[in-house]
Chain A
């Protein structure tokens, strides 16, 4: 494939062809002067011959760079030569020559007619140079094909985790070796897609179809070997990872291991939480939350007991961070938009409660923005139980420390995550939530071949703080890690990871959001537009962007869907109620 300036013998052949053609055309033009301004002085006679001798080789090299060499290419080469001549005439005779002669180029038909001789000369030159180039190609043997590369042992890099950090690292490694497979990179992930977590709450509220916020890992990292499976354990001595992939187990040897396994919800051993609460970490979780909320409305619609109906229509989210706040706001939107389908509960007061252990929600943003969010959500009827700690959960609802209980049909836990079981089992020093402590180069101290990034890594930002476990950090950590591995494999040293957060965006439902970008604060509709614009732009893949955009447009124009796809089981209580006789 050609398209760049050639080198070596090919360039020489091009220059030779251009020189011969230039000499011939220049000689034929000797004594002929076009009456166009400047052309007479610069393009004819001895000056013209000199110009052709100078320009000819350069144009020949360009021609050789444009065309391909091989059997059957002569006509295309000739046609390209003619077109090149035409361009030369346009740029040289009609543009540069008038400029050099101190005149303004006008590209008028009159001037073109005056410079017609140069047009014929230039196109003839192009055709002639092409013919000579083809002839030279036929005479000069083509350089021997490059011998196939000797297969050598390639450094093996195993990345555990297909989230933002892991995929970012794999993509960066691919871009560092775009044309060859310098490294043998394997990525292991439980899911075959990269989950775009910022839009998870919208999936839970039915605004976006679930699979639209997942980008296939195979598409994101096409030259990385992908294994859909779960890392079971790591043998640090043997430098080997055991992976469960369906019905089989694999052992993946590595020279460099990247831990990017993210985090998973932890219920902190509180009684009943694992059994009676939902979580929001995956597409399945988000779909389950949506289905559960709709199922509660279905159940409440036929419920005659007012207290039970109120319980069913109570939605509780535990955790006032990003995930919890966005989820409850979206859940409220979902219920508000679909309640029209449930005539018996249409007039009922829904109850939404956010339970948070601290005194302020959204600790990731400035207090003023957190206050704005709190006020706006309160206006929409959301209750906040700030400073409240969860004691447990039952099938009737949530228990708080101090003995208080909240009867609720829906309880979602977003208040705690911890590093995965595999990471926890590794004999490394741990930071908050069981994350592996690494140095600023993202390597585990004392283990130069083990790296950790993303939620499962405790990465020092400075002496007192760690980089937060957010997507924007994970993406940069992945890229920095890949650079670090490449540096090590190249015999160098990895650089320290440095990144300052660009900002924070939190959606509050119903066309409201808060945003803080490089210290500038935004709230309300403008922030909501920013949220959608930024995250749509960040969503991987054009196709997914289009699908999500269409989802949003549909959501503007139509009510949310209440189809409970995948939920085939009717509530248990329905089965216990004797069927009524059909009149």
Chain B
């Protein structure tokens, strides 16, 4: 056992009080970031001060910091058993922040103020700055906990190398260039992205440079992430959304002297870059991993790969079950398509208008995506929960990739990234989520009953338990909740 892994194991046996204390300190750091944003936005601190029957911003800030420390303590206790690694913590932090927006801003705060809970769209829209603030709070708290307040070197993961950083920079720059190319090709999208302030040259230079920074940051956060390509794609999507909040809604307007663009109107004006950033994050991760895999195949001698059954067998095995699951999910999707009369549009992909052709094309796509899901997530499906969750995440990802981007593009239209496009595409999101749920559940049922012939039942069970343990110790559950909620909550907030 290495010193690092011993320290990591030691962290699991720490008293909860220690975790709570560290979490509280990290919460204070996160609270400062959120507090600064509230000062910038104005109006939020007096509301918080109302809890202690005051109206002054200072009282509000003190209450806010106290709450931040308390909530941070809870975070410290919750993640005390997880891998203390910055990358994992970021996702936990973001999800924890979003959760506290629901619980704190929409539920507890109104109750403490003697008002009914704010579980309405109007309440949520009014609270959008608070949601973004909670996200920032969660991420900053998580990073602070992971980087600044941890003990020793608690994670056995290898440190980030210069080569990995370089790969990240290349991937980030390429992803940013792709995003900028799409935005630049459509004036309407660029105008609704929040990035169109200066000249094209400045846009490209700053955009590609920011992409490089985001790539390097990704490499630093996830030097050797566990899990296959599928989870990495979903993580990339979430990473892109976080960068959207940090860049399009925060850094760019601040640098332009416009203040934080966190209110509903400002977010709506920047909606076009939401999907763009999400997809750029996905592309970043794919490029980063592809470079790593290519270099590994060329220059690394991993004898474990010789013990594998071979990609052909693995992929073929996965393709069959994935196609069947995709078909099942596709039938659920069909119910929505029939109801909203969407089949003729799908038929347009084959140059037709007939619903029957549309159904055939749709089911073919469903089968192909199902097969890709099985290939990408075959190692991650360890129980019913993971089947359902990964399926939902993949469905959400394909709404961004297919519903908002590829489908319109293949039909000769521009990507539906604007608020109006997202509004129109909401039935498609519901259908994609239903598809993902069906896909995940059916694939789980098929995969959990199958195994390679040379693996005994006990070995297969043990391997799944090990993978499940790995998932539980990582940020995978947070990723599930974060991606799905973002996919659903943000369109609701910006549409209509």
Contacts and interface: CB of A to CB of B under 8 A. Distances in A.
B131 to A, nearest CB: 12
Interface in B441-457: 444-445, 448, 453-454, 456-457
B400 to A, nearest CB: 16
Interface residues of B, number: 71
Contact of A112 (B437, B472, B492): B492
Interface in A457-489: none
Contacts of A1: 382-383, 448, 461, 464-465
Question: Closest 3 CB pairs between A and B?
Answer: A3-B384, A79-B477, A109-B426
Contacts of A74: 78
Contacts of B119: 28-29, 32, 116-117, 120-121
A106 B339 CA distance: 7
A115 to B, nearest CB: 9
Given A3-B383, A67-B383, A106 B448 contact: no
Interface residues of A, number: 58
Nearest to B383: A2
Given A120-B106, A124-B107, A79 B389 contact: yes
Contacts of B424: 109
Nearest to A62: B384
Contacts, number: 168
Interface in A104-139: 104-110, 112-114, 116-117, 119-121, 123-124, 127
A370 interface: no
State the main secondary structure of chain B at its contact with A. helix
Contacts of B389: 79-80, 83
A222 interface: yes
A232 interface: no
Interface string A61-84: 000011110011111111110111
Contacts of B392: 83, 86-87
Interface in B62-110: 78-79, 81-82, 92, 95, 99, 102-103, 106-107
A78 B477 contact: yes
Interface string B378-400: 00001111011100100000000
Contact of B492 (A31, A73, A113, A546): A113
Contact of A32 (B116, B476, B480): B116
B453 A34 contact: no
State the main secondary structure of chain A at its contact with B. helix
Which of A73, A83, A107, A223 counts the most B-chain CB atoms under 10 A from its CB? A83
19 contacts: A1-B383, A1-B465, A3-B387, A75-B82, A76-B477, A86-B433, A86-B484, A107-B426, A117-B121, A119-B492, A120-B124, A123-B485, A124-B107, A127-B99, A179-B457, A218-B453, A222-B454, A546-B312, A546-B316
A219 interface: yes
Contacts of A94: 430
A75 B431 contact: no
A109 B480 contact: no
A546 B384 CA distance: 32
A90 interface: yes
B120 interface: yes
B492 to A, nearest CB: 6
B41 interface: no
A68 B468 CA distance: 9
A348 interface: no
B496 interface: yes
Contacts of B454: 218-219, 222
Contact of A72 (B437, B456, B469, B481): B469
A343 B120 CA distance: 88
Interface in A426-461: none
A579 interface: no
B7 interface: no
